[in-house]
Structure 1
Amino acid sequence: MPAPVHIRPAGDRALLVDLPGLQEVLSLQATLTADPADGQVDVVAAARTVLVTASSPAAARQIAARIRAADLAAAPGAAADLVVVDTLYDGEDLAAVADLTGLSIDGVIAAHSGQTWTAAFGGFAPGFAYLAGEDTRLEVPRRPSPRTAIPAGSVALAGTYSAVYPGRSPGGWQLIGRTTARMWDPHREQPALVRPGARVRFRPVRELVEISRPAPAAAGTGKPGHGVVVLSPGLQTTVQDLGRPGFADLGVTVSGALDRGALRRANRLAGNPAGAAGLETVLGGLVLEAAGDQVVAVSGTRVPLTITGPDGGGRMVAAEAPFALLDGETLTLGTPASGLRSYVAIRGGLDVPAVLAARATDTLSGTGPAPVARGTMLPVAAAPPGSVVGFPEPPAAEPAEVTELRFVPGPRADWFTAQSLAGLGQQLWTVTPQSNRIGLRLDGTPLERARAGELDSEGTVSGAIQVPPSGLPILFLADHPVTGGYPVAGVVLAADLDKAAQLGPGARIRFVPAPEAAPVPL
């Protein structure tokens, strides 16, 4: 008999599936991973939920029907490969874990290394996997005071799970050992050493051997020295394309341009494919010098553009239209008259190395190119044969005094009082200066919860209106964390997120309920 499931909409293109327990989670995850549904983009498992992101509302509806018909009572098949992790058991909390479990230190080591762990789901960082064990004796609480920095390779326990920290990060897990196994390497064919569903054994060793990683191959299809040099980086300037969907189960968000329409428009004007890599910059101040003749287009804001020649002479050019930037000339982006983020496309596209099939900079996880700095040489690829520049576009529209963003209520609307849910859509919210590519932090009348306690971490999506204990919402944007532990009161429609990308501090938002856009009934 099929296991009971509750499918909640998470916006207009995603589903959050509530399940009875971890076995059903692993079964659904294995089913969707082994045979992806049409339009399936990402599958993010958690302790009792699976988040499925689709390419369209229609695809989300079809996936929901498939999930309802699935037999999740059957245990998922075992992974073909067993990952063995050499571990030196000398962790700072090893003695504390022995006290908490009533075992000796040798007993803790034997219990941890003597069982096969299953990678249940990914975590807060690329390559972090929650490992479910067979031996309940190792269940321990998190530390009462989290550490501010845990070294990469730390082997840890918390609750019923074990994990290996893939990189240096804060955390509250109990540290029992360490390994030199590289849990995350975006330059490998399989970047995560342990993927969800994999089996893991920890092998005790007396010493660790460090294995060096060869340097990644450099990109390059253009002429050496052909590109642009950054003379002034401006604010929050990063390389962006349309992102890297399909890696959320490994802890990697899609990322990419916040205003996807503006990047597509700039690329069309410059004669590039829609997903070519360009620059995203905030509030002007970016200055680029051409190394070789370039064709450039700028979109997204009403920004003044000045070209200065080597002789000091200058001229103004228009945004939303292609223009030539000749060898040795500089392009300066002034302060936009309206809007926040501008996008600079160069014919051929920026030819920085791809990471996980994309060139986007993920500011949360550090995946992709580093933020642009003064003196950076950005190579430009050769333009595709037959590519042509586009016709000029109308100037970017003036932002409204109040930006309306449509949203689908839920998936955790039941965590809030009816009055607060009504207030989410009735009041005006103000964007605060603490906002960034991860999300817009909003100020207004705090939302009140209808229940106490904490929500188990579960998958999140761009557009999620997450509400921390303060009651003040955070509207997640492209670099949002893959999972979160605060309830989501609603999710902004994908079509409205470009508008959110152009909202700076002080901008006002009204959330407009759009329950009819939900792919499944609320």
Structure 2
Amino acid sequence: MRFLPVRDDALLIELADLPTTLALFDSLSSDPIGGTGEMIPGARTLLVFYRPSAVTPGEIARAARSRDLGGRVAGEGTLIEIPVTYDGEDLDEVAGLLGLTAAEVVLLHTGHDYAVGFTGFAPGFAYLSGGHPDLDVPRRSSPRTRIPAGSVALAGTFSGVYPRESPGGWQLIGTTAARMWDLSRERPALLLPGDRVRFVDVCGGARSTVSVAAGSAGPTAPAGPPAVTAAAADPVTVGLEILDAGMLTLLQDLGRLGYASMGVSSSGALDPVALRCANRLVGNPSGAAGLEVTFGGLRLTARGEQVLAVTGAPVPLTIRTPAAAPDGARTRTVDVGRPFALGAGEELQLGRPTAGLRSYLAVRGGFDLEPVLGSLSTDVLAGLGPAPVTAGTVLPVGLPARGIPAVASPGAAVDLDTAEVVLDVVLGPRTDWFSADAVEVLIGQSWLVSARSNRVGLRLEGESLTRVVDAELPSEGTVAGAIQIPPNGQPVLFLADHPLTGGYPVIGAVATHHLPLAGQLPPGARIRFRPLGPFADVSSESSEVQP
């Protein structure tokens, strides 16, 4: 075993192969190490989150080494047939890389059954192993920003199906209409660890159904997130009506924890400090859902009397009273970081931020909506949670929480010099995949935040980092803040809606205390990275990851 730092609260355990990894995952799941949390298995690694106040990396390493990993026996899971039309845009390129014809690639792909080794990247995405050994192809040198839902793809020796439209770097060889993730099913994921998979060539005359033990999952299009609207038969009398959603407005809370083993990221507010503050100002539980408003522009009106607060990126706040009011039409301004009243029929408008990117609006009583897997967060990569808020949306407001007093003092606002922001990073786990001067290149320059950035991650532009290991990295767990380096050498800094697993090496990760700051960086901002300490391998029992 090898133990590598990932973040100041996460450790990567590197093992010999997938069976050993799954054996350790089973052992630590049935008998957890005190102070550890969620775990994400990869092809040859296990990512372990932990509480630094409760356990050290060295203690985790010693406990992991003591486990018996020889007792896991692979079972004969459900055989699931997936119909495929082999029309992928990379099929010919894959054939050329392998020295085969496209037809021969299809024969190899359909001629062997696969096993679901682990899940990750996104809900419903399963890493399938055990196919023909000749199907071993590298990922693309630069990941695509958009891969259609239902794309059947290869990376290394793995095969997989993208459950919804998302970015990704796998090679596309076909498409399927099978629904890989559906919350209306008893088991939302079509493929779970232990299942066996057989790909069927539709054009070759094979049947086009997908069989599962719990019933049929027919060839239907992947479902998107449910819209956030009020039912016409049950009009909302107490709530907020959206007049203009601005550039992007999402419902966000502190995320959906505990579903990593299903491939579900925690998601949640990119600046949880600001969200907690907004909730405290109006007397809500700190984890209640609020509106995350990107670059201002939100305009809404109150149904019933409401108490609101806005924190995070500071924006001008203007309230307009309707002309029908007793005193006629009036306009007033209120302050960011303080609670304020919004009368029935009054309109609130958020201007453009003077610093940062994302503002958070909380309303006393919170939003009375049905959570998805325990959360109202919108995960834009996974398509989980409520849809982005749009004009015409009416968000019902619940009853105020009892026993939680509102805080009248000013809340924290973003203090951000976008000319250059310094982010603390923990080096690892794959610094040895880069040239000797790679860390100096990483920390010695100012990186530009690209306009192609979003809640999944910040794409950075600057002097490229040079890899010295050209091999394919077996997919492994990733964290928010991870600085992933694709073959083009331009970093991608993962944010809250990042994929749970990835196949490009990570040279470091932003420390947890600076993640909210990273979530506030707009396109055009510049970043400098400051390492918290040298890279540390925790392979020896006496060693620790240094802060």
Q: Tell me whether 444-453 or 482-491 shows the greater mean CA deviation.
A: 444-453
- What is the DSSP-based 3-state SS (H/G/I as helix, E as strand, rest coil) of the residue aligned with 1:378? strand
Q: Tell me whether 200-209 or 263-272 shows the greater mean CA deviation.
A: 200-209
Q: Tell me whether 300-309 or 186-195 shows the greater mean CA deviation.
A: 186-195
- What is the DSSP-based 3-state SS (H/G/I as helix, E as strand, rest coil) of the residue aligned with 1:232? strand
1:265-344 equivalences in 2 (<5 Å): 265-311=277-323, 312-344=329-361
Report the TM-score, using the length of structure 2 for normalisation: 0.80
Contact 2:279/2:285, CA 8 A, preserved across alignment: yes
Indicate whether 1:128 and 2:125 are aligned: yes
Quick one: structure 1 residues 151 and 394, their matched pair in 2 at CA, closer, same or farther if it must change by over 3 Å?
A: closer
Quick one: structure 1 residues 504 and 90, their matched pair in 2 at CA, closer, same or farther if it must change by over 3 Å?
A: closer
- What is the DSSP-based 3-state SS (H/G/I as helix, E as strand, rest coil) of the residue aligned with 2:196? strand
Quote the residue 1:31 is aligned against: 27
1:162-311 equivalences in 2 (<5 Å): 162-167=159-164, 172=171, 174-175=173-174, 180=178, 182-188=179-185, 190-196=187-193, 198-200=194-196, 202=198, 206=207, 208=209, 224-311=236-323
- What is the DSSP-based 3-state SS (H/G/I as helix, E as strand, rest coil) of the residue aligned with 2:391? coil
Q: Tell me whether 437-446 or 360-369 shows the greater mean CA deviation.
A: 437-446
Measure, in 1, the Cα distance between the counterparts of 2:524 and 2:240: 34
Indicate whether 1:495 and 2:513 are aligned: yes
Quote the residue 2:431 is aligned against: 413
> How many angstroms does 1:342 deviate by?
0.6
> How many angstroms does 1:261 deviate by?
0.3
Quote the residue 1:513 is aligned against: 531
> How many angstroms does 1:163 deviate by?
4.2
Contact 1:271/1:389, CA 8 A, preserved across alignment: yes
Quick one: structure 1 residues 90 and 243, their matched pair in 2 at CA, closer, same or farther if it must change by over 3 Å?
A: closer
Indicate whether 1:443 and 2:443 are aligned: no
> How many angstroms does 1:132 deviate by?
2.9
Residue identity opposite 1:230 in structure 2? I
Contact 1:463/1:475, CA 8 A, preserved across alignment: yes
Residue identity opposite 1:403 in structure 2? V
Measure, in 2, the Cα distance between the counterparts of 1:103 and 1:399: 56
Quote the residue 1:83 is aligned against: 78
> How many angstroms does 1:90 deviate by?
6.9
- What is the DSSP-based 3-state SS (H/G/I as helix, E as strand, rest coil) of the residue aligned with 1:10? strand
Quick one: structure 1 residues 68 and 78, their matched pair in 2 at CA, closer, same or farther if it must change by over 3 Å?
A: same
- What is the DSSP-based 3-state SS (H/G/I as helix, E as strand, rest coil) of the residue aligned with 1:265? helix
Quote the residue 1:349 is aligned against: 366
Indicate whether 1:140 and 2:159 are aligned: no
Residue identity opposite 1:259 in structure 2? D
Residue identity opposite 1:140 in structure 2? L
Contact 2:226/2:386, CA 8 A, preserved across alignment: no
1:86-105 equivalences in 2 (<5 Å): 86-87=81-82
> How many angstroms does 1:513 deviate by?
1.1
Aligned residues: CA RMSD: 3.8
Measure, in 1, the Cα distance between the counterparts of 2:459 and 2:138: 29
Contact 2:314/2:355, CA 8 A, preserved across alignment: yes
Quick one: structure 1 residues 57 and 452, their matched pair in 2 at CA, closer, same or farther if it must change by over 3 Å?
A: farther
- What is the DSSP-based 3-state SS (H/G/I as helix, E as strand, rest coil) of the residue aligned with 2:7? coil
Count of aligned positions: 504
Residue identity opposite 1:383 in structure 2? P
Contact 2:482/2:506, CA 8 A, preserved across alignment: yes
> How many angstroms does 1:314 deviate by?
1.4
Quick one: structure 1 residues 210 and 521, their matched pair in 2 at CA, closer, same or farther if it must change by over 3 Å?
A: closer
Deviation string for 1:66-97 (max 9, x for gaps)?
2232222x142445x83342555775699x99
> How many angstroms does 1:355 deviate by?
1.5
Residue identity opposite 1:23 in structure 2? P
Residue identity opposite 1:452 in structure 2? D
Structure 2 residue runs without a partner (length 5+): 201-205, 210-215, 324-328, 539-543
Contact 2:278/2:411, CA 8 A, preserved across alignment: no
Report the TM-score, using the length of structure 1 for normalisation: 0.84
Measure, in 1, the Cα distance between the counterparts of 2:535 and 2:407: 33
Quick one: structure 1 residues 370 and 179, their matched pair in 2 at CA, closer, same or farther if it must change by over 3 Å?
A: closer
Measure, in 1, the Cα distance between the counterparts of 2:37 and 2:332: 45
- What is the DSSP-based 3-state SS (H/G/I as helix, E as strand, rest coil) of the residue aligned with 2:517? helix
Indicate whether 1:6 and 2:2 are aligned: yes
Measure, in 2, the Cα distance between the counterparts of 1:443 and 1:155: 30
Contact 1:292/1:326, CA 8 A, preserved across alignment: yes
Contact 2:365/2:400, CA 8 A, preserved across alignment: yes
Deviation string for 1:321-374 (max 9, x for gaps)?
111111111111112222221100011112333112111111122211111111
Quote the residue 1:430 is aligned against: 448
1:1-80 equivalences in 2 (<5 Å): 5-56=1-52, 58-59=54-55, 61=57, 62-72=59-69, 74-78=70-74
Deviation string for 1:444-483 (max 9, x for gaps)?
3222223334423221111111122332322211111222
Measure, in 2, the Cα distance between the counterparts of 1:57 and 1:11: 14
% identity of equivalent residues = 44
Indicate whether 1:373 and 2:372 are aligned: no
Contact 1:444/1:472, CA 8 A, preserved across alignment: yes
> How many angstroms does 1:298 deviate by?
0.7
Q: Tell me whether 33-42 or 247-256 shows the greater mean CA deviation.
A: 33-42
Structure 1 residue runs without a partner (length 5+): none
